[in-house]
Structure formats: structure tokens, C-alpha cells
């Protein structure tokens, strides 16, 4: 069956998200006022015609399962195929005991029997914490026409990612070097999106299993860069990898730029999300919203400026919220003053409190905190 199958990696990885991932994986991080990070990967795949998507899980995945449900919101609730959750029930790490996957190849080895059920000829592999709106149909078409073994999607923006993968292609787009752990990155930053044929993927997994190799980028991309025809696709639009508190904050604030919002939420490739089940937001007579994104069900009686409010946030009279990201059902009491704050779900800031972070070090308020 000629088509595209999706695999999203949503297992825990080393990151610097701190309190924001205490009860969730990075893939279920709220983003953009009403979305979760995984909504973007799922929407990318569905917009490219994918009807079957496997979600590789490990670690704190209960929040993600609750969010995904049957996959109906992404048109992936189907009698055959559709959304398939792949938790690590049978996985045991080498050396005894359970633990994190050491890499993508080990994660795929843990769901090797699932790979045999794939009906499509090509697989798109993506990380669940990537926020982007890619033309995957165009990328797949280029992959086929170039006779590539693997197509790696790269960004060309200025954001450097800790422990990122970088690709150096030649003038024809063929990757000649795969680099990582560099103090001064060069080449194009990999977005951890790859197109590969189903058969080649199964062959690579089998070979890596037989050699106790677990890393996609080291044991496949880097080790086989001369053997395989690895091609690059350079994406010039917005792309955020949610790996640290600072990057999460910086990338969220970028959404206040209308041009970036238009790029990420292109109408020809809609981003689907779970319904918030909230009423319309209300801005009171004394309330003001300036250059902000406000989700459904918010009640704004104070000042909200350069901020992102998720559904159900309440800002009471006299309160000031500037340069903040407030998750669902957060309450800011009267005359409180907040700046450069990321507040998790159901945070309550008491009346007359002043909490000031900094643009280069935003203050994080953990889930359910009362301060």
C-alpha cells in the first residue's frame, strides 16, 4: 500500500523542563494557548494523508493517554489502523531492570512486532515534542523522486539546541556529514523528522538489535552516512523543539508575532486539537488584553499584556499579567502583579502578591501551587 505511516516518539528523554514535566511528558506540554505539543505531530501526519499512527510511550504517559483518547479529534479513531498506543509493557533495559530507552532504535526494537503490521510503504518518524507545521506530502514526494534511503528534515533558523543533531549536505542535498555534541554547531539543525521506507526501517532495526546498537543518529545516520543515500529537506518556517524551560518560554513568546502564527497555523494544513469544552472568554469593563493569546473560558478583569492564557484562566480586577504563560484554570487574584512567569495548571496567585521573573530566566510555578 503506497502511502505514509506515522511513528511518534513520546518516551521520556533528558531535558531541562524541570517542574513542567513532573507529571507529564514533553509531548503533552501545553503550547500556544489551546494545544499540546503532540497535536502538531499528529496534525502534520493526518494532513499528509496518514491514517495509521503509532505512539511509542515510556515514562510519565498517563497525561498523554488522557489527551489522545481514541484519536477521534485527529480523525484517527478507525476500525482498522488509526491511532495505536505502544507502551513498553515488555521492555526491559539491558543490564536488568526497567529504565529509559537509550535511543530510537532500542525503542523501535521494543515494538518490533508492530512494525510488521505497517501497511504503508513509507514511515515518517517524528518526536512528539516538536512544534511545527510541515508539508509532509511534499517532503514524501521529494523523498521518492530523489531515490533517497532516508530524508532528514532540518531547520535553518538561529536556535541552537543542546545535544542537537546537525547535517551538512552537499550542493545536491545529499548529507555528507552527521554531527552532534558540538560546541559550535555547523550545518543545518535536525528537527528529528525522518522519512524512510518501511522495509529499510525494519532491516535497520533488525541489524541494530543483532549488534546491541540503540542509537538512530550514531548507529544509523552517522555510521552509515556513506553507505546510505541520506537527503536533507530544509524547512525555513517556524519549528520549536520543547527541550528546556527557556526554549519553551522563548518559543511561546514568538507566537505573539502575527507572521509566526500565520506560518504555524497555515489554513491549508490545520492543526487539530482536543476540544477545551469551555465557554467564550470574557473581558470585563476594567479588563484589557494587549498583544496576547487568550484561550476559551477565560475571565479577564485586570490587565493582560504580551501573554498567553490557556482555557479557564481568571485574572481578577487590579491584577497585572505581563509576558507570562498561564496554563489551564490558573487564578490571579486581585492586585497581584506577575511578569515573566510560567504557571502550570490550577495555580493560584494570592491577592497583592508580586512575582517577577526575567526574560532570560522565567519563573516556573508548579502544578497546583498557591503562592
pLDDT (tens digit, 0 to 9) for every residue of the chain, 371 residues total? 569 999 999 987 767 888 888 888 899 999 999 999 999 999 999 999 999 999 999 878 888 999 999 999 999 999 888 999 998 754 444 444 445 788 899 999 989 999 999 999 999 999 999 999 999 999 999 999 999 999 999 998 656 666 789 999 999 999 999 998 777 778 899 999 999 999 999 999 999 999 999 999 999 999 999 999 999 999 999 999 888 899 999 999 999 999 999 999 999 999 999 887 778 999 999 999 999 999 999 999 999 999 999 999 999 999 999 999 999 999 999 999 999 999 999 999 999 999 999 999 999 999 999 99
Taking Cα atoms as reference points, which of 57, 41, 164 lies closest to residue 107? 57
Q: Is 357 in contact with 326 (CB distance < 8 Å)?
A: no
User: What is the per-residue pLDDT for 61?
Assistant: 86
Pull the grid cell for residue 235: 524547512
Pull the grid cell for residue 283: 473581558
User: What is the per-residue pLDDT for 96?
Assistant: 43
Q: Is 275 in contact with 303 (CB distance < 8 Å)?
A: no
User: What is the per-residue pLDDT for 58?
Assistant: 84
User: What is the per-residue pLDDT for 97?
Assistant: 42
User: What is the per-residue pLDDT for 158?
Assistant: 58
Q: Is 190 in contact with 152 (CB distance < 8 Å)?
A: yes
Residue recorded with cell 510488521: 116
User: What is the per-residue pLDDT for 10?
Assistant: 92
User: What is the per-residue pLDDT for 162?
Assistant: 66
Distance CA 91, CA 77 (A): 26
Taking Cα atoms as reference points, which of 292, 250, 238, 55 lies closest to residue 130? 238
Angle at 345 between CA 274 and CA 351, to 5 degrees: 135
Pull the grid cell for residue 113: 512486532
Longest dimension (CA), the chain: 68
Distance CA 294, CA 357 (A): 21
Cα end-to-end span (Å), the chain? 56
Pull the grid cell for residue 251: 518559543
Q: Is 124 in contact with 193 (CB distance < 8 Å)?
A: yes
Amino acid at each position: 500500500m503506497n502511502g505514509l505511516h506515522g511513528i511518534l516518539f513520546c518516551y521520556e528523554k533528558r531535558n531541562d523542563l524541570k517542574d513542567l514535566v513532573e507529571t507529564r511528558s514533553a509531548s503533552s506540554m501545553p503550547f500556544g494557548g489551546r494545544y499540546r505539543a503532540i497535536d502538531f505531530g499528529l496534525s502534520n501526519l493526518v494532513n499528509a494523508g496518514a491514517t495509521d499512527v503509532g505512539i511509542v510511550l515510556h515514562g510519565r504517559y498517563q497525561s498523554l493517554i488522557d489527551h489522545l483518547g481514541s484519536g477521534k479529534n485527529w480523525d484517527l479513531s478507525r476500525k482498522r489502523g488509526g491511532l495505536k498506543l505502544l507502551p513498553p509493557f515488555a521492555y526491559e533495559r539491558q543490564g536488568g531492570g526497567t529504565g529509559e530507552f537509550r535511543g530510537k532504535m532500542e525503542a523501535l526494537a521494543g515494538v518490533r512486532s508492530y512494525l510488521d503490521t505497517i501497511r504503508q510503504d513509507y514511515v515518517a518518524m517524528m518526536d512528539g515534542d516538536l512544534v511545527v507545521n510541515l508539508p509532509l506530502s511534499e517532503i514524501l514526494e521529494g523523498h521518492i523522486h530523489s531515490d533517497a534511503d532516508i530524508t532528514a528534515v532540518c531547520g535553518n533558523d538561529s536556535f541552537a539546541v543542546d545535544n542537537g543533531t546537525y547535517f551538512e549536505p552537499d550542493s545536491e542535498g545529499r548529507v555528507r556529514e552527521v554531527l552532534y555534541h558540538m560546541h559550535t554547531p555547523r550545518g543545518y539543525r535536525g528537527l528529528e523528522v525522518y522519512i524512510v521506507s518501511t522495509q529499510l526501517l525494519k532491516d535497520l532495526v533488525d541489524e541494530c538489535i543483532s549488534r546491541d546498537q540503540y542509537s538512530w543518529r550514531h548507529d544509523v545516520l552517522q555510521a552509515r552516512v556513506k553507505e546510505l543515500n541520506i537527503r536533507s529537506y530544509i524547512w525555513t518556517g517556524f519549528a520549536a523543539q520543547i527541550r528546556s524551560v527557556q526554549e519553551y518560554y522563548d518559543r511561546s513568546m514568538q507566537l505573539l508575532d502575527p507572521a509566526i502564527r500565520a506560518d504555524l497555523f497555515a489554513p491549508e494544513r490545520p492543526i487539530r486539537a482536543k476540544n477545551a469544552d469551555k465557554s467564550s472568554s470574557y473581558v470585563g469593563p476594567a479588563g484589557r488584553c494587549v498583544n496576547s493569546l487568550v484561550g476559551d473560558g477565560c475571565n479577564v478583569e485586570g490587565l493582560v499584556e504580551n501573554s498567553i492564557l490557556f482555557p479557564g484562566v481568571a485574572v481578577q480586577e487590579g491584577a497585572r499579567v505581563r509576558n507570562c504563560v498561564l496554563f489551564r484554570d490558573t487564578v490571579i487574584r486581585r492586585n497581584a502583579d506577575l511578569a515573566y512567569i510560567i504557571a502550570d495548571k490550577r495555580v493560584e496567585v494570592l491577592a497583592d502578591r508580586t512575582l517577577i521573573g526575567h526574560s532570560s530566566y522565567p519563573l516556573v510555578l508548579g502544578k497546583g501551587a498557591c503562592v
